[in-house]
Every structure is written in C-alpha cells, then in structure tokens.
Chains A and B, each alone.
Chain A
Amino acid sequence: MHNAILHEWLHPVYLQEDKITKLQHSFSSAKPFPHLVLAHFLVEKKATAILRAIAKEKLVLKDSDLFTFFQTNDFKITRNKVLLDFRNFLCSNDFSQYLTRITACKIKSKRIDMSASLYLKTHYLLPHDDRLERRRIAYLYYLSTLAKKDGGALALYDSKNKKPTEIVKKIVPQFNTFAFFEVSGCSFHEVEEIVSDKQRIAISGWFHDQ
C-alpha cells in the first residue's frame, strides 16, 4: 500500500496502517450516510501549486434551477501540467486501491470526473443525490477556507423512505481538505449559499465503479 505515488502526494499520516483502519471505520459508520473528511490531505506544496494552477483555468458560469456557480472544463482536457498530474494521481491504480480499501467500494482507476468550481456571494447548489450511472464516490477537494458564517458548507441530509428530511451535518470548506461520500439513493446533499464576500474554491467530481 505504501507506493511511491501515494508518498509523493498524500500527507504521511494517511499512509499509516492504524490510521487507515480508523478511516475505514469512520467512513462506514458516518451519519447520515458513509462519508469522510481528510484535513491536510496533500503535502502542502502540492496543494499550493494546485491552487495557483486553477487561477489560470477558464471559468464558465453555470446557472440552472439547481445551481449557480463558476466551473472549469473537465481536467482531462486541461493543458495545465499541475492539474493533469493531480488528476493522474487521483485516478491512479494506487490511489484507487487506497480509496477502495477505505470505502469498501470498488473504484475503477483511470476513470474520474474532475473540474474546479468557484462560488461567489449568492452562489449555491440545491439538494440532490448525485446519482448517475456508475458514479460510486463523490469527492470535493477544498482550496479555500471559509467560516460557518460565510455559507458554502457541504450540508448532508438525513433521509426517510429515500427522501431527504433535514440537514444533520455541515462540512465547512478548509484549505487542503478532501471530503468524499458514497453515492447512493440516500446521499442527499447541497452546497449552502455563499452569503459573504469570501470565495469557495474546490475541485470536485466522482470516482466510478468497476
């Protein structure tokens, strides 16, 4: 499990065997549905380089009944080496195996959706479950830090009979934090509206099943 690419990218703590065992338990027992939040996810210099690289990407306003925010194209067509390297890391065999070990969800390497988003004041993403063919794990890698009062939190809903009932957990974005959850019929979530002048910058997407 201690492969070179994992050592190159991940904070060393996430490669310790006892830590991995704890993460497995935390993920499977998390409420309202399996999820995990990994602070200080990457080695610091990688995180900083990724943030700098995103600033060079073109953003397009996405606006519909469900959301308003800016988004880049999928990184599979970016020419930015830093972002391509990050994408290659996340969809590598080694990281796919690492994630499969933590989540017990069989992740297919080499297949990942990945783009960056920028939320400004009044931007939001309303409740939905993310289900679409073959999506297995949804992930967010935060590149800015917000306070609870700024909005922009990932809010997780409890559910009953496959319908969302109430928000029971909020994950407030923190720089270099990787959050992920299992996509299922009850993985209802939203991104709360940004209500301050702070920016919410994140990379997000999905891992697919085998």
Chain B
Amino acid sequence: MINKYYIQNIEQIKDAFHNNKEFPHVVLVDFFEKKDYEMIKQEIKRTTFSPEKDPLTHSYSIARTTFLNDPFFEFVSTIVNGNIKPMKQTILQFKHKDYTILNDQQQDKPGVDIIFNVTDDWQDEWGGSHFYVDGSGAYTKMLTTGNTLVMARRSADTKRFVKYVNCTSKQKSRIFIIMSTS
C-alpha cells in the first residue's frame, strides 16, 4: 500500500510535479508502507535476472515483473494527469561495470518515466544514479534511496542514463523497477 501521507496529499504532489515547468518531475521517499516495501524486496530476491550488454549503449541485468498493481497506476495517473494503464515492469540490476550511455539512436518519444528504487544502503559515490539530460546539456541527477519513487515527464529532448557503477561498490548491486510510457 502507498504511504498514506501521499494518498492524503495527492493534490500537492500533483502541483509539485507540474510546477517543475522545464522538467516536470517529483521524487517521493518512503513511497510504500514499510511492510509492502519489504514484500517487494522479497519478490526481488526471488527474481532471476539475465545479463544484457551492448557496449555502446548499456550493460545491466534485466527481469520482468508485475509487482505493481492497479492502485499504484491510478496514483501515478493522477499525479501526471494521464491515463497510465497497468503495464509490465522492467527490473534493472546494476552492479560493478554496469552502465547506460546516451546515444544518437536513442529516440524515446515524449512520455513519463516511473522509476522505483529498491536498493537500501547504497552510497552515491559508487555510481548507478539516474541522470536526465535536456537538449542544452543541463543535467538533473535523481538522488534516491530505497523505497523512493521518481516520476518524470520526458520531452522530445530529454534523455536518461545511469552512471557507471565503479569498483568501490564491490559486490553490491542497485536495483530499479522501471516503466516508461510514450
């Protein structure tokens, strides 16, 4: 279940999202109630990931899921003023040497990114953070901890990448549940 505070203050969150005129986005910490977040983490532990690599664009491990249910998508739809239907979710796991790179072939249509961070105790200097870049070269870094939801509206010029995970992360990995609409 979504944190009651966010349910009760949904209009304020909606305003916060849309008031970011240049890059509409919002970051919600402690997004799920603790018990539900723990359940999601348990599901992730049971998930089998498949490594995927194209050196010029990405390196990560991937899995598909349907953890997130109808109330979640109703909440997201209300915030972004759109009709976001329940969809399959991608789980991406980033460990040492994983990354994504911006590239000229990447032509995401405008839409909404929904990114849920499922990693506790991650140090920012290990890498693995999401960055958004607009056409002018300006960067927005998404500082997220475990149980944080990011909703971001992509324009035609907005692109997203995940910073290389460096050796100081050792054996740890960073996991996100990601959905994108277009």
Partner of B166, one of A65, A124, A157, A163: A124
Mask for A125-139, Cβ within 8 A of B = 1, else 0? Answer: 011100000000000
Interchain CB contact under 8 A, A65 and B131? yes
Interchain CB contact under 8 A, B167 and A193? yes
Does A1 lie at the interface of the complex (its beta carbon under 8 Å from any beta carbon of B)? Answer: no
Interchain CB contact under 8 A, B56 and A163? yes
> Which residues 15-47 of A sit at the B interface, judged by CB distance below 8 A?
none
Q: Collect the chain A residues with CB atoms within 8 Å of residue B125's CB.
A: 122
Complex Cα gap A68–B56 (Å): 16
Report the minimal beta-carbon distance from A125 to chain B, rounded to whole angstroms: 10
Interchain CB contact under 8 A, B168 and A65? no
Does A205 lie at the interface of the complex (its beta carbon under 8 Å from any beta carbon of B)? Answer: no
A67, closest chain B residue (CB): B164
Interchain CB contact under 8 A, A121 and B167? yes
Does A188 lie at the interface of the complex (its beta carbon under 8 Å from any beta carbon of B)? Answer: yes
Known: A122-B168, A126-B99. A164 touches B163 (CB 8 A): no
Does B97 lie at the interface of the complex (its beta carbon under 8 Å from any beta carbon of A)? Answer: yes
B99, B102, B127, B166: which has the most chain A beta carbons within 10 Å? B166
Known: A65-B102, A66-B101. A193 touches B166 (CB 8 A): yes
Complex Cα gap A190–B99 (Å): 14
Closest 9 interchain pairs by CB? A122-B166, A127-B55, A65-B161, A195-B167, A164-B55, A65-B102, A65-B101, A127-B56, A66-B101
